[in-house]
Structure 1
């Protein structure tokens, strides 16, 4: 539900697929946060402008190059500072969400963060992609993959005091089994957890294994399998909406989006070209 005033606007929502995960998208031209804390792990990324915040007795800057992380119950305050605008996206993980991510990573003890700012461009981009995917709410598989991958990298690269995240085995046969599963069951509602369990891997291990074996994430590979299936349906004369559903896409718009991203044209444009 959005909260809007003459200077600031923000949207706050709970993710329906991950209990305990809440999201915030904010656009501020004026703000002043008094010292406060959250009973949640907070991760925030800046889209435009920036602000200043105070934590652990020092003042830091939020900017597009910084990933902000606050441990549960860690006090901090904030104000606009040098910037006239601050657009940012935040993720708030209460204990159920933290526990769920831990299970996906194969760890029971999640790490503590000894700093609040991490200059990590790749991780900033990863969390922006995650938040935007959650905001769009169009593809639960992609959302899940981005969630597991982003927090897995954050915990492994910058966390302290937690358990080491088990690495995926270097076994091309396991990847081949998952590829075969995708080829056989692409029209079903496949999940990272289900496919990982089929070969004895956590979702995070499955992502790492698949990336090494195929050069693609599980979501990207499954999308390619489904696009090929949709092309077979279209060549056989199926209407676009029927081809989308038969290939495992949730609707025609999802097929259109991925089709254009991959081939540069829509399925309708492809059909017209094929007829000519």
Structure 2
């Protein structure tokens, strides 16, 4: 009798052809993504099963007929719920790939995507084919053509021209605090310290962050630290050193948050960086 597949399997790698583009092939039987952000555009093609995804305060069940996309720094989460399996392919388009694609399209930056859940079978087919070609990395010209075609059509159909890197409507006080958190993410920042810098009580600060960002200050700082850890891991730093440099108390804390938010381990990410 064949053994039934009951575990989770993921493959994660960086494209050798396109610096700044990472790819994930996931097959989940049980996994929920906690609320998190990426410093990248995310495009995901579901092959079978599905999950309930929350993005921009919109919650929708996504399956094979829906392409999920998000802009850099947008908060998202996912839960499989009653779905017995979720198999999908995903792209993560960060710098310098964002700049490279913008130059290909003759612009200074890529557009802001207006929607997250796209019922667009044509685009689903194009991104599915692109992912499979990039996985083999064998035909350079074909890969270049498919990248320009898939992303060009995505931004042409659903982009509105605004800069994605600047979330709309963010409170000026929160923007200043986020800049400080990015600069001092490795320090042991306290809620009282941040509230004092904003001239608010701790309770007021939490409410302000949740209204403007959708996360508490602590949760947002975790995402900043995860992005910092990715930066160090891409450059070959050891896992423990990357955890401490990013502001986590130890490697175990990095492992916990990384797995919960990204669906892979820091080791998988580091191995993909070395291979790329």
TM over 0.5, shorter chain: yes
- The separation in 2 between residues aligned to 1:42 and 1:93, in whole angstroms, is 7
Structure 1 residues 197-236: aligned runs within 5 Å:
none
CA shift, 1:53, in A, is: 1.1
Runs (4 or more) in structure 1 with deviation over 4 Å come to none
Counterpart residue number, 1:28: 28
- The separation in 1 between residues aligned to 2:145 and 2:58, in whole angstroms, is 35
- The separation in 1 between residues aligned to 2:99 and 2:90, in whole angstroms, is 19
Residues 154-194 of structure 1, C-alpha deviation per residue, up to 9 Å, x if partnerless? 0001111259xxxxxxxxxxxxxxxxxxxxxxxxxxxxxxx
- The separation in 2 between residues aligned to 1:120 and 1:58, in whole angstroms, is 18
Counterpart residue number, 2:115: 115
Structure 1 residues 6-25: aligned runs within 5 Å:
7-25=7-25
State the structure with bigger RCO (CA 8 A, min sep 6), 1 or 2: 2
- The separation in 2 between residues aligned to 1:48 and 1:136, in whole angstroms, is 21
Counterpart residue number, 1:58: 58
Contact 2:20 2:96 survives alignment (8 Å): yes
- The separation in 1 between residues aligned to 2:95 and 2:144, in whole angstroms, is 18
Counterpart residue number, 1:159: 159
Contact 2:28 2:85 survives alignment (8 Å): yes
- The separation in 2 between residues aligned to 1:6 and 1:121, in whole angstroms, is 29
Residues 52-73 of structure 1, C-alpha deviation per residue, up to 9 Å, x if partnerless? 1112223112211111111101
Q: What's the TM-score, normalizing by structure 2?
A: 0.55
Counterpart residue number, 2:102: 102
Give SS of 1:68's match.
Answer: strand
- The separation in 2 between residues aligned to 1:58 and 1:123, in whole angstroms, is 21
Counterpart residue number, 1:247: none
Residues 99-140 of structure 1, C-alpha deviation per residue, up to 9 Å, x if partnerless? 111111122231111221111100000000000101122211
| RMSD of equivalent CA atoms | 1.6
Structure 1 residues 141-156: aligned runs within 5 Å:
141-156=141-156
- The separation in 1 between residues aligned to 2:37 and 2:65, in whole angstroms, is 23
Counterpart residue number, 1:44: 44
- The separation in 2 between residues aligned to 1:134 and 1:117, in whole angstroms, is 23
Counterpart residue number, 2:75: 75
- The separation in 1 between residues aligned to 2:162 and 2:151, in whole angstroms, is 13
Q: What's the TM-score, normalizing by structure 1?
A: 0.55
Counterpart residue number, 2:125: 125
CA shift, 1:151, in A, is: 0.4
Query: How many residues are paired up?
Result: 159
Counterpart residue number, 1:209: none
- The separation in 2 between residues aligned to 1:78 and 1:162, in whole angstroms, is 26
Structure 1 residues 168-187: aligned runs within 5 Å:
none
- The separation in 2 between residues aligned to 1:141 and 1:16, in whole angstroms, is 14
Counterpart residue number, 1:252: none
- The separation in 2 between residues aligned to 1:64 and 1:42, in whole angstroms, is 16
Structure 1: segments with no counterpart, 5+ residues = 164-276
